[in-house]
Structure 1
Amino acid sequence: MARRYDPDRRTRIIDAALRVIVADGIAGLSHRSVAAEADVPLGSTTYHFGSLDELLTAALRRSNENFAQALRDSEVCAGGADGGEGASSGARLADELTRVLGEWFAGERGAIELEYELYLAALRRPALRPVAAEWTTSAVELLSTRTDPATARALVALMDGLCLQVLLTGSAFDADHTREMLARVVDGCA
């Protein structure tokens, strides 16, 4: 039997891994479950990813890219939209970050849960730690186009904390509270 050329197979396997994690958590992830979800032979998953840590690394990297793209697509990196007469640059930054987080939470909640499940998996899986750190570094670099690096790092930490609180408490995203907290960090570090 001739081998079928399938240049998108690796990507499909990563996407399938993300769907498995959303449905069953990291505990449900195996080469077999991903192969079934991707509708590929089991050998394909082990060919492209020699270990589950390699597969989780690729999945976390993809998840990181999704949120970083949301920041890049927003006004955060473009300098912010006009926040109205008299609105400070810091207030506009807080408004824009709140809008991005609000849109993130308005989407499917499973995507955010997935992101944090992968992110927190790095606590027990050292192979994931450099990729988790990539997210922080990337977000800080993006935000540093609008503020100093120390404030950017504080904003990333605050956004992570606020997102985790919403996820862990099952509460709704509170845009007013988020905007106030972000503004306090931006204004306090200015």
Structure 2
Amino acid sequence: MSTTQPAPAARRKDPARPERIARAAIAVVAERGVDKLTHRAVAAEAGVPLGSTTYYFASLDDLLASALRQAAADDVAHLRRWAEGLADNDDLADALTDLVLHYLGPARSQTAVEHELYVAALHKPALRHVSQEWDSAMAELFSAHTDEATGRALTAVICGLLMQGIVRESVPSRDEIEMIFRRVLSGPAES
């Protein structure tokens, strides 16, 4: 009786590979900048064959859009966890100040790369819808704790504070940040 070896199992698909490649693209942008992003650099960072990056992301714009989408998803997930931790009686201006200081302190390098990806939409129209989706998700999250107009205003203020904070050598003071949030949350100024 002859025993034959079973045929080798077909190579299993790696459903996590596109996300791994997107996260590798974020790492490459963090290290080298958007203008130095290449399929080869991302493949090396992800530990995948070069063909994998071009299989999942035909162009660099596709790869950047995926990286931006992943960064946005990670940030929105972080914001949701933050919002879930808010109690009804928490001081929202104080909590938002803590959030901004977190982004400009312990999470500064992550904040910088996220903003670099976000700003890439200026020169890459294919990324604009992803940036707009990120803004909308943030505004929706903040609107759940205020109202729609204030949620949009908080999104704009936070984005501005973070952009200024990662460009400046010094971070705005806690008092300065908190005062800005108190003004936004108090509504339009009386004339």
TM-score by length of 2: 0.87
Cα gap change, 1:147 to 1:108, in 2 (>3 Å): closer
Is the 1:77–1:146 contact (alpha carbons within 8 Å) kept by the matching residues of 2? no
Counterpart Cα distance in 2 of 1:28 and 1:108: 23
Q: CA deviation at 1:96?
A: 1.3
Structure 2 residue 9 is the aligned partner of structure 1 residue 10: no
> 3-state DSSP class of the match of 2:67?
helix
Q: Larger Cα Rg: Structure 1 or Structure 2?
A: 2
State which drifts further: 97-106 or 111-120.
Answer: 97-106
> 3-state DSSP class of the match of 1:188?
coil
Counterpart amino acid of residue 75 in structure 2: F
Structure 2 match to 1:37: 45
Structure 2 match to 1:112: 111
Counterpart amino acid of residue 37 in structure 2: L
Residue among 66, 70, 77 paired with 1:69:
77
Is the 1:31–1:45 contact (alpha carbons within 8 Å) kept by the matching residues of 2? yes
Alignment gaps of 5+ in structure 1: 84-91
Counterpart amino acid of residue 63 in structure 1: A
Counterpart Cα distance in 1 of 2:65 and 2:26: 11
Identity %: 44
Counterpart Cα distance in 1 of 2:130 and 2:162: 19
Q: What are the within-5 Å matches in structure 2 for residues 41-190 of structure 1? A: 41-74=49-82, 76=83, 80=87, 82-83=89-90, 92-189=91-188
State which drifts further: 40-49 or 62-71.
Answer: 62-71
Alignment gaps of 5+ in structure 2: 1-7
Is the 2:104–2:166 contact (alpha carbons within 8 Å) kept by the matching residues of 1? no
Counterpart amino acid of residue 170 in structure 1: E
Counterpart Cα distance in 2 of 1:125 and 1:103: 29
Is the 2:100–2:161 contact (alpha carbons within 8 Å) kept by the matching residues of 1? no
**CA deviation vs aligned residue, 1:52-73 (integer Å, no higher than 9, x gap):** 1111111111111222122211
For this pair of structures, how many residues does the alignment match? 181
Cα gap change, 1:79 to 1:145, in 2 (>3 Å): farther
Cα gap change, 1:176 to 1:81, in 2 (>3 Å): farther
Counterpart Cα distance in 2 of 1:41 and 1:27: 22
**CA deviation vs aligned residue, 1:86-135 (integer Å, no higher than 9, x gap):** xxxxxx11111111222222224221111100110001101100000011
Q: CA deviation at 1:80?
A: 3.5
